[in-house]
């Protein structure tokens, strides 16, 4: 049975030796994934004690930093392993694992989205740029009304029969069955659910509303809020 958060130890409860062992294990795992520029730290921070209204200084584990886009998949694998293999017995409220990936810049080749699931057919799909055709992608989620409105607009564009570009919606919710029900009323268009992909780190797909424009040469021309796209 999985332990509840209340039964897990706080990072500040570790002895000096245990803390040292954890930090060394994390450093070794970072090295294994070519992420040696990231240095795990045990830092003090103030915690509010709700019952008394007082504050208390406690230590917290920080694994943070920014790396190049080429390391996105290694970041994803590391974050999964460190939580399962090293920090499984530590209360997640007492550590922070957040390694950012530098966003793409203009003229940088598009990183294909692998492991997508077609919401209409359930089939797996890898999305790549097609030479000679622009690619316009909207990332959306059920808990963001604006991203859903934009997704429906994108669906309308797709149905308009524009041949110069592919217009695609990609959902980022955890369960692909939920958005599959929502899109039934939008009419036929390309709509996918993002899977385990380096692209969801590189393009910050969790920061919705989010859109991506890939030019006819397969380079990223825009990555950001859909309302800021200059078509």
pLDDT string in tens for the chain (231-residue length): 445 556 789 998 999 999 999 999 999 999 999 999 999 988 875 555 455 555 555 788 989 888 887 787 888 889 899 999 999 999 998 888 888 777 655 567 777 777 788 887 888 888 887 767 888 888 888 888 888 888 888 777 765 555 677 888 888 877 767 777 777 777 667 778 776 555 666 666 667 788 888 888 888 888 777 877 765
Domain boundaries, the chain: 5-101, 108-228
State the CB neighbour count (10 A cutoff) for residue 129: 20
3-state SS, residue 125? strand
CATH architecture, range 5-101 = 2-Layer Sandwich (3.30)
Q: How far apart are the first and last CA of the chain?
A: 53
Beta strands in the chain (DSSP E): 41-49, 54-67, 95-101, 108-109, 113-118, 124-127, 134-140, 165-171, 190-193, 210-214, 219-224
CA–CA distance, 99 with 113 (Å, rounded to integer): 20
pTM above 0.75, yes or no: no
Give me 72's structure tokens: 């996105």
The CATH number of 108-228 is 3.40.30.10
Tell which residue, 149, 146, 139, 130, has the closest CA to residue 191: 139
């Amino acid at each position: 049975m999985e332990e509840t958060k209340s039964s897990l130890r706080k990072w500040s409860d570790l002895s000096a030796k245990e803390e040292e062992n954890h930090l060394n294990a994390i450093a070794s795992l970072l090295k294994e994934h070519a992420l040696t520029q990231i240095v795990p730290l045990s830092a003090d921070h103030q915690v509010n004690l709700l019952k008394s209204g007082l504050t208390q200084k406690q230590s917290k584990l920080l694994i943070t930093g920014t790396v190049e886009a080429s390391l996105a998949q290694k970041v994803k694998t590391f974050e999964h392993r460190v939580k399962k293999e090293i920090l499984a017995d530590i209360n997640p409220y007492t550590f922070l694992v957040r390694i950012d990936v530098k966003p793409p810049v203009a003229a940088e080749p598009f990183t294909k989205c692998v492991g997508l699931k077609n919401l209409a057919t359930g089939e797996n799909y890898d999305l790549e740029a097609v030479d000679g055709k622009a690619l316009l992608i909207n990332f959306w989620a059920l808990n963001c009304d604006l991203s859903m409105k934009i997704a429906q607009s994108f669906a309308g564009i797709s149905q308009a029969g524009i041949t110069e570009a592919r217009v695609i919606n990609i959902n980022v919710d955890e369960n692909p069955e939920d958005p599959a029900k929502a899109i039934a009323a939008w009419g036929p268009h390309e709509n996918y659910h993002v899977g385990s992909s380096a692209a969801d780190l590189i393009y910050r797909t969790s920061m919705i509303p989010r859109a991506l424009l890939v030019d006819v040469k397969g380079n990223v021309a825009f990555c950001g809020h859909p309302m800021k796209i200059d078509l």
